[in-house]
Amino acid sequence: MLVRNILEESVQKFGEVKAVKWLKKKEISERSYYEIMENAASVRKGLLAEGFEGKHIALIGTSSVEWIESYLGIITGCTTAVPLDAALPCEDLVDLINRSDCAALFLSPKHRPYLEVFLANCPGLQKVWMLQEEVEDVPEKVYSINELRNIGNNASKDAACPDAEDIATIIFTSGTTGKSKGVMLTQKNLASNVEAVKISAEPGTVMLSVLPIHHAFCLVMDWLKGFSQGATLCINDSLLHMVRNMSIFKPDIMLMVPMMIETIYKRLAASDPAIPKQVLAEKVFGGKLHTIFTGGAHLDPYYIEYFAQYGIQILEGYGMSECSPVISNNTPENNKPGSIGKPLENVEVRFENGEILVRGTSVMKGYYQMPKETHETLTDGWLHTGDKGYMDEDGYLFINGRVKNLIILSNGENVSPEEIENKLALNPLVGEVIVTGEKNGLTARIYPEQWSKVVLPERHTNVPSSTYSPKTSMIPLNKNREASSSREPIRNSMVRQPLSSRTLSSSACFTMFLPISFPMARVLKVT
């Protein structure tokens, strides 16, 4: 099974179903499965006619129907899609275009100011297509998406189906733990991941896509999985408009990262308790939302309990770009709060010194042009995730830290700082927290949350004093308004939000010293 096969089956089954909806000048626009796949085919045939068979094609832009149609056109032919993070600085985008050997580029109109820079500094670029119907006053080698589609519609030849081992897409990692790496995912990788995630939905089920479209989680689980089910994907035009768009599109299902869930939670917690939950659910969620799938970071089970009051089931999963991306997931029928679900049927899991290793048809081919890094990550087909975890007697997988983040205390005990951080961070007065190993013990640097008129849920009003060491002090912040730390605060899978991703609003942080003899269980049982 290839991605093209999955999409062609969807057209046969759901041709007249609305595949995509989006806001255009405050009005809802839509396209059916027939229309989406026709446009994708015109892009695919146009690329073939223009001589880009076997080439790498970059895409830069926020979520749009033109973006997804172009992406589908690329990966259903014999070309490789390279979706890039539109929020990156221009110089970083230039670097990634060159490092991935892209011969062409699809560019959002919002990034038109970068156009001349790309043309001047990316010698491999032969053509650029703007993701808009018409363009004016553009340099040589720049065209509109409609011009490419017209070429495709007039072409007599369609691209052949790619082979299962052909590279469908190259997705770059965030680069928070080093130089970003281009993850090579084959046609087989993507298709097998879509098929292995056993989640079903009725045709026309409404999904609101709020994650960045260049992320593997969004591309595969929102779009490809959604299309395989005949879902209606609604485009969120901005994270600032997420709540507004939920009320407009009234989604049944959403994919979110924990930070989004925590943001909505704070809004709910600060609301008037006299407002009936049904009314509040209608106002915040649109009234139809029943399932949120989440991953990418730890989510405390408390949020699962809290959202259940509003008729919303939160299901955690686990994955990474290197695994196309899903490794394990909870389902409506089989789930355990606090776990990241059971491994997919096409995934093998084993543990090496506590680290999770995985093998299966969804595991990447390697990192593009980075053999050393590929060798370090892949051993005999086994992918080193870098996450520490365990599996319980029921087959559910749990994560309890990152391999590189372990703190080795003077008594020889290995401590995962994320477990402590995630429990401390659950208190609504805590904005950010960093746990480090210092002074023969543990030090927690806590940045207060800066929101006003907060109504604290009863669960959080009486945090046991025995949880914290009474020895506290105020420490100054550095010029970046961050506390100095012996450990890099940016982590991959367990951190709530990297400190470097935003400027902290607090003017000071509290430091709490936890001695080696400190009973760890107390921290981990904070309620």
CA distance 337 to 308: 12
> What amino acid is encoded at 80 in this protein?
T
Give the SS3 label for residue 63: coil
Residues 6+ apart with CB under 8 A from 38: none
Task: Answer yes or no: are the C-beta atoms of 68 and 219 closer than 8 Å.
Answer: no
Strand partners, 415: 407
Assigned token pair, 204: 């026309």
pLDDT in the model for residue 259: 87
CA distance 478 to 505: 13
Task: Answer yes or no: are the C-beta atoms of 524 and 417 closer than 8 Å.
Answer: no
Residue 181: closest CA among 326, 355, 323, 374: 374
- CATH superfamily assigned to domain 193-404: ANL, N-terminal domain (3.40.50.12780)
Count of other CB atoms within 10 angstroms of residue 465: 7
Put residue 296 in one of left, alpha, beta given phi > 0 → left and psi -120 to 50 → alpha. Answer: left
CA distance 278 to 310: 7
Task: Answer yes or no: are the C-beta atoms of 151 and 49 closer than 8 Å.
Answer: yes
CA distance 478 to 509: 11
pLDDT in the model for residue 472: 28
Strand partners, 235: 209
pLDDT in the model for residue 299: 87
Q: Is the pLDDT of residue 224 over 90?
A: yes
Q: Confidence class of residue 446 from pLDDT cuts 50, 70 and 90?
A: confident
CA distance 216 to 229: 18
Average pLDDT rounded to a whole number, residues 35-46: 98
Residues 6+ apart with CB under 8 A from 301: 337, 338
Q: Do domains 31-162 and 193-404 have the same CATH topology?
A: yes
β-pair type (253-256, 206-209):
parallel
Residues 6+ apart with CB under 8 A from 21: 28, 29, 30, 232, 233, 234, 235, 249
CA distance 55 to 204: 35
Q: Confidence class of residue 413 from pLDDT cuts 50, 70 and 90?
A: low
Q: Has domain 31-162 been given CATH number 3.40.50.980? A: yes
- The 3-state secondary structure of 290-359, one letter per residue: CEEEECCCCCCHHHHHHHHCCCCEEEEEEECHHHCCEEEECCCCCCCCCCCCEECCCEEEEEECCEEEEE
Query: Which percentage of the chain shows pLDDT scores above 90?
Result: 68
Strand partners, 384: 357
> What is the DSSP code string of 213-267?
TTSHIIIIIIIIHHHHTT-EEEE-S-GGGHHHHHHHH--SEEEE-HHHHHHHHHH
Assigned token pair, 171: 């997705």
Task: Answer yes or no: are the C-beta atoms of 362 and 196 closer than 8 Å.
Answer: yes
Phi and psi of 338, rounded to 5°? 95, -20
pLDDT per residue as tens digits for the range 254-297 = 999 998 998 899 889 989 999 999 899 999 999 999 999 999 88
CA distance 46 to 43: 5
The mean-pLDDT minimum among 41-50, 289-298, 397-406, 493-502 falls in 493-502
pLDDT, mean over the chain = 84
Exposed (0-12), middle (13-18) or buried (19+): which is 400, by Cβ within 10 Å?
Answer: middle
| Domain ranges (residues) in the chain | 31-162, 193-404, 406-524
Average pLDDT rounded to a whole number, residues 302-328: 96
pLDDT in the model for residue 28: 97
Average pLDDT rounded to a whole number, residues 40-66: 97
Looking at per-residue confidence, does 515 or 165 come out higher? 165
CA distance 216 to 348: 20
Residues 6+ apart with CB under 8 A from 116: 139
β-pair type (253-256, 27-32):
unpaired
CA distance 248 to 261: 19
pLDDT per residue as tens digits for the range 449-504 = 654 334 434 434 333 322 323 222 222 323 332 333 333 322 233 323 333 333 33
pLDDT per residue as tens digits for the range 350-366 = 999 999 999 999 999 99
pLDDT in the model for residue 443: 83
Q: Confidence class of residue 409 from pLDDT cuts 50, 70 and 90?
A: low
pLDDT in the model for residue 406: 63
